[in-house]
Structure 1
Amino acid sequence: MNGFSTRAIHAGQDPDPTTGSVIPPIYATSTYAQDGVGGTRGGYEYSRTANPTRTALAECLAALEGGRHGFAFASGMAATDTLLRVALRPGDHLLIPHDAYGGTFRLVDKVLTRWGLSYDPVDLADLDAARAAVRPNTRMIWCETPTNPLLGIADVAGLADLARTAGARLVVDNTFASPYLQTPLALGADVVLHSTTKYVGGHSDVVGGALVTDDEELAQGLAFTQNTVGSVPGPFDAWLTLRGAKTLAVRMERHCDNAERVAAALVGHRKVTRVLYPGLAEHPGHEVAAKQMRRFGGMVSFQVGTSADDDTEALRVCGATRLFTLAESLGGVESLIEHPGRMTHASTAGSPLQVPANLVRLSVGIEDAEDLIEDLLAALD
């Protein structure tokens, strides 16, 4: 199964051997009958450890990312926490993007530093800056590309070489791109992370996370720790996410089509001072994105008003749209608008990762592009 959509529809999803059900069943069970002590059927004994619906999702996600080992989690942050617990130890150092997702920053800065972890934020688009930030105890480079919410682009292959030289692992949060647009393992990354809540699920109706890796030792540690701490999705959540993954390719094409048109409509608007979208030729990461991504994604950010420190106009625009719903999250079929400084990235306030006050982030959905552009332009005016 080489084609992306073929894998999305079939990987881990053979017809049920008992009934012939084309769609994997929702195995709503906590435990499994054993044929004698230790005589499990298919290795299933307790659903915190394993559940067939979750197994189907994990196998599908691994196939989409081109990896050998996939894990489905209760949320993207549960996946993040589990990976950091397994891959790092007290005294270790990691690099994070200088514009990392607020939830990742909060976990690292407010929780894991108390565990003895140290970190530095760095512009990972600048390989020289990243190289200069590496310490003797650096054990991980945590990369987002594109980043949330500034749509920065990092060279995954370049960071992979840097990580190997430093004796560190490269983790790529691939949430904004989705596995349809970008496969970091093929570029040298050690682990790929997703908030499957976003594009993989794609319908704003389920929360989940995922990790995919080719590293056998790391995979064993992830399986043990996930089972130990219980950071697993329920079978219905796994089923919803798996259903969403089936249409990921066709949805991402429409997301990209619409985002390109929205970005073009914003460029040059008298109230818009900057448009952040990797598909624009003037974006500093455009060439790298064109090299490592299939297309440029469905996320667009822009700045409005005369000052990066004044959120007045950004807040007004966020409250004035009618089709773009004011809400956190992203990646669903419906378009969303949000103010990162007051919403998703409020935890970065006062830190080196604080986002501009006049920044607006769009998750461009799959509605008719003309309607979305009309809605935005009306809100701006």
Structure 2
Amino acid sequence: MSTQPSQYSPETLALSAGFVPDRETQAMTPPIAMSVNHCFIPEDGSFSAHGIDDLTEAPFLYAGWTNPTVRQLEQRIAALECTDDAYATTTGMAALSAVFFSFLRVGDHLIISDVCYAAVYEMAREILPDYGIEVSTVNLTDLEAVAKAIRPNTRLIHAESPCNPLLRLTDLKQLADLARQHNILLSVDSTFATPVITRPVTLGVDIVVHSLTKFMNGHGDALGGCVVGRKALIAQIRSRAGVYLGATINAHNAWLIMRGIETLYPRMKTMSESALQIARWLEKHPRVKQVNYPGLASHPQYQLAGQQMAHGGGIIVFQTDDMDEIARRFAEDARLFYYAYSIGHQRSLAVLLKTADLMESTYNMTVEQEKEYRDYAGDGLFRLSIGLENPQDLIAELDRLLG
């Protein structure tokens, strides 16, 4: 029997939403439907994707549009995010591309956070203008600045909360209210938060984006992304990105990510509890200049974090003296922290993000924007993605590496 989302708590939905035991075997693990094609009998003697408003209402036909295993994943994520539907993509970048190319046209205007995932920022600033789309980068914590940036042709505002890599927050409710006043869609990348910590739709956000590769999968073994929102919006995205952009996730990766989601709630709670202990310890270390973590009272938006985040999350960023030497120790001498550019694994990860390097390679900031960035990051920061190890073991390793 399928689960009715309104009946159960999120922890239960992470295991049950969209799941039905196999009819023939009664297997309690979802099967992987690897077939690209499905047989069908059209009711009117012909079948075409054209004219169908929602491809999920048609019979399973072609895996590029939808697939039984992928559909289970989408239903589960939609239930966790408290909204109608979801579309699962090959990567997080495919998910953002699906949003941008579904809702933006020549002559439209996009407002995007001035600090966000590097590839998203670079796509917005370097690729979208080639298609006649105007782009403004704005500190989305400043609602007055956002209001001033809005133009008659503004169609979409895209935020991250917490943003990568600063862990700066956006007041999603206030931003959603502002966007609604101007009839502008609001999308939010909630990869760092996951639905365990924040459900943006409940705060008025139209579209939620995830890189499923990260915390949602949680094992570092499958690429994936997802767009979540109202059924009509997701149907529009699926008809474009699935049919024409080829962005739909494959069944095997969908199955792996769905397996990861079954432990999402206990993983995120454990990681958040560990991260808070470690962040508090780092604040007291003599070589640490500053720690940014939403669960710390020292975070500039600690009150907002308490309002829209159930936990502090699994990411910590901090500044130290002698960054290069400490980065070398992480890369060469660490036993528990793996030096890698990713987040959300079951094992802890660490990487140094130098401000000068990011300003040169990615962020085309104004003087004021760079000053605001450096208020959080200084000349550079270490980003820790806390895993499932015992936090005291991680603290002992940090103590040894920091010296």
Q: TM-score, normalised by structure 2?
A: 0.88
- Specify the alignment match of 1:14 in structure 2: 20
Post-superposition shift, 1:48? 1.0
Structure 2 residue corresponding to 1:368, chosen from 390, 394, 397: 390
Contact 1:328–1:343 under 8 Å retained in 2 = no
What residue in structure 2 maps to residue 135 of structure 1?
A: 151
Q: What are the within-5 Å matches in structure 2 for residues 215-254 of structure 1?
A: 216=232, 218-225=233-240, 226-254=242-270
**3-state SS of 1:340 partner:** strand
Q: 2:182 aligns with which of 160, 166, 172?
A: 166
Aligned to 2:3: none
Q: Provide the residue aligned with 2:40 in structure 1.
A: 34
Where do residues 209-288 of structure 1 align in structure 2 (5 Å cutoff)? 209-214=225-230, 216=232, 218-225=233-240, 226-288=242-304
- Structure 1, gaps ≥5 residues long: none
Q: Name whichever of 61-70 and 113-122 sits farther off.
A: 113-122
Partner of 1:321: 334
CA–CA distance in structure 1, aligned partners of residues 148 and 355 of structure 2 = 32
Structure 2 match to 1:351: 364
- CA shift, 1:339, in A, is 1.9
CA positional deviation for 1:19: 2.3
Segments of structure 2 that go 5 or more residues without pairing to the other structure are 1-6, 49-56
Cα drift, residue 84 of structure 1: 0.4
Q: Does 1:336 align with 2:358?
A: no
Moved more, 66-75 or 312-321: 312-321
8 Å contact kept, 1:317–1:379:
yes
Q: What pairs with 1:286-325 in structure 2 (closer than 5 Å)?
A: 286-305=302-321, 311-313=323-325, 315-319=327-331, 320-325=333-338
Cα distance between partner residues in 1 of 2:329 and 2:399: 10
Q: Contact (CA 8 Å) 2:222, 2:256: kept in 1 or not?
A: yes
Bigger shift: residues 273-282 or 111-120: 111-120
Q: AA paired with 1:55?
A: R
- CA shift at 1:240, angstroms? 0.2
* C-alpha separation in 1, matches of 2:37 and 2:153: 43
Does the CA-based 8 Å contact 1:103-1:347 persist in structure 2?
Answer: no
Q: Which residue of 1 aligns with 2:4?
A: none
Q: CA RMSD in A?
A: 2.2
AA aligned to 1:351 is N
Identify the residue that residue 44 of structure 1 maps to in structure 2: 60
Q: Aligned pair in 2 of structure 1 residues 222, 64: CA closer, same or farther (>3 Å)?
A: same
Distance in 1 separating the partners of 2:217 and 2:291? 27
Q: Give the distance between the partners of 1:314 and 1:287, measured in 2 at CA.
A: 32
* Partner Cα separation in structure 1 for residue 360 and residue 125 of structure 2: 10
C-alpha spacing 1:343/1:63, structure 2 compared with 1 (3 Å): farther
- Structure 2 residue identity aligned to 1:206: A
Output the CA distance in 2 between the equivalents of 1:177 and 1:247.
15
Aligned residues: 376
Q: CA deviation at 1:322?
A: 2.2
1:305 and 1:313 in contact (8 A); partners too: no
* Deviates further, 113-122 or 157-166: 113-122
One-letter amino acid of the counterpart of residue 181, structure 1: I
**Residues 141-167 of structure 1: per-residue CA shift (max 9 Å, x gap):** 111111111000111000001111122
Task: Answer yes or no: is the 8 Å Cα contact 1:156–1:189 preserved in 2.
Answer: yes
Task: Give the deviation of 1:96 after TM superposition.
Answer: 1.5
Task: Return the alpha-carbon distance in structure 2 between the equivalents of residues 34 and 215 of structure 1.
Answer: 24
Q: CA deviation at 1:123?
A: 1.5
Amino acid at match of 2:266: V
CA offsets 1:10-56 (integer angstroms, 9 cap, x no match): 11111122321222110111112234765899711111121100000
Distance in structure 2 (CA, Å) of the matches to 1:180 and 1:144: 16
**Partner Cα separation in structure 1 for residue 46 and residue 27 of structure 2:** 28
**Which residue of the partner structure matches residue 377 of structure 1?**
399
> Percentage identity across aligned positions?
35
User: Would the aligned equivalents of 1:304 and 1:313 in 2 still touch at CA under 8 Å?
Assistant: no
Counterpart position of 2:132: 116
State the 1:74 CA deviation: 0.4
Which one-letter code corresponds to 2:281 in the other structure?
A: A
CA deviations over 1:66-96 (Å, ceiling 9, x no partner): 1101111100000000110011112212222
Instruction: Supply the AA of the counterpart residue of 2:181.
Output: T
Amino acid at match of 1:290: G
Q: State how 1:186-201 maps to structure 2 within 5 Å.
A: 186-201=202-217
Deviates more, 1:354-363 or 1:56-65: 354-363
3-state secondary structure, aligned to 2:281: helix
Secondary structure of 1:322's counterpart equals coil
